[in-house]
Amino acid sequence: MTLVLAIVIGILYAAGLYMVMRRSMVKLILGLALLGHAANLLIFTVGGLVRGGTPIVPPGQESLVAPYPDPVPQALVLTAIVIGFAVQAFALVLVKRAHQETGTDDFDSLRATDGAPPP
């Protein structure tokens, strides 16, 4: 199972980096989303995968009963998902506004508008 996750993480990182290197702003945002998903899977994999257990102390017990997963990676990934969603929403709004102003989402075309006076 860990080997399959390692392969999936590698594919997600490769696809994310490929998308980030493209000239389109929309592809950049999609690439950042893929990189975020790959990082979340990496955190889960490094934290250890345990099936069938919950990191909750049962009633009447003073400690967790093995096997149980580590709750810290779960909390980190949950926080990363929320922050990633907010960043992607903000980036989409910026791309929409830039497209409205310039009529393109190509980074090379946007370089030509740096020194131009407003219309």
| Model pLDDT for residues 10-21, shown as the tens digit of each residue | 999 999 999 999
Q: Find out whether the peptide bond into 67 is cis, omega within 30 degrees of 0.
A: yes
| Model pLDDT for residues 61-81, shown as the tens digit of each residue | 888 777 777 888 888 999 999
Our count of domains for the chain comes to: 1
> What domain range is 85 assigned to?
2-50+69-103
Q: Does 109 map to a domain?
A: no
Burial (CB count within 10 angstroms: exposed 0-12, middle 13-18, buried 19+), residue 32: middle
Q: Does 112 map to a domain?
A: no
| CATH at 93 | 1.10.287
Question: Other CB atoms closer than 10 Å to residue 44's CB: what's the count?
Answer: 18
Query: How many Å apart are CA 3 and CA 33, to the nearest integer?
Result: 22
